[in-house]
């Protein structure tokens, strides 16, 4: 039996198209890999970006990397928060996981500062 889950992740990037593609793909691969998620189990994926990222849309970056070609993807801009962590892409993955599974949230490449209790090595 499976349940619907929302799994979070975040990654800090340089405002560079190649870096956005590489790191968006990396955090996506970690989210799906550590949680045993197949793309057919994904309902949707929402990205948010801080206002200092404008070199590439992370949804387009993920598709460019060869992933998520048939998934519902959506990107929004994070509200500006004075003193907030810069250059962050956040992910909210809606998917079906095994009923007894505990979601593994992934924070990497400096985004660990957002949730030190959810650090991924």
For 110, residues 6+ apart whose C-beta sits below 8 A from its C-beta are 11, 12, 85
Provide the CATH number for the domain formed by 2-118 in this structure. Answer: 3.30.1330.40
For the chain, give the mean pLDDT: 95
At residue 27, does pLDDT exceed 90?
A: yes
Q: Is 40 helix (H, G, I), strand (E, B) or coil?
A: helix
Cα within 13 Å of Cα(100), Cβ side: 0
At residue 103, does pLDDT exceed 60?
A: yes
> Per-residue confidence at 99, pLDDT binned at 50, 70, 90?
very high
**pLDDT one-digit tens code per residue, 59-97:** 999 999 999 999 999 999 999 999 999 999 999 999 999
Instruction: Name the residue ranges covered by the structural domains of the chain.
Output: 2-118
- The pLDDT score that the predictor gives to residue 116 is 74
* Euclidean distance between CA atoms 104 and 112, whole angstroms: 14
Q: Is 2 exposed, middle or buried (0-12, 13-18, 19+ CB in 10 A)?
A: exposed
């Amino acid at each position: 039996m499976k349940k619907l889950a929302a799994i979070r992740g975040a990654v800090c990037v340089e405002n560079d198209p190649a870096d956005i593609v590489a790191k968006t793909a990396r955090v996506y691969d970690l989210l799906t890999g550590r949680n045993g998620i197949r793309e057919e189990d994904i309902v949707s994926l929402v990205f948010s970006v801080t206002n200092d990222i404008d070199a590439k849309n992370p949804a387009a970056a993920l598709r460019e990397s060869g992933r998520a070609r048939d998934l519902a993807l959506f990107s929004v801009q994070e509200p500006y928060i004075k003193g907030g962590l810069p250059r962050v892409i956040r992910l909210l993955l809606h998917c079906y996981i095994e009923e007894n599974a505990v979601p593994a949230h992934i924070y990497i490449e400096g985004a660990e500062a957002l949730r030190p209790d959810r650090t991924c090595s």
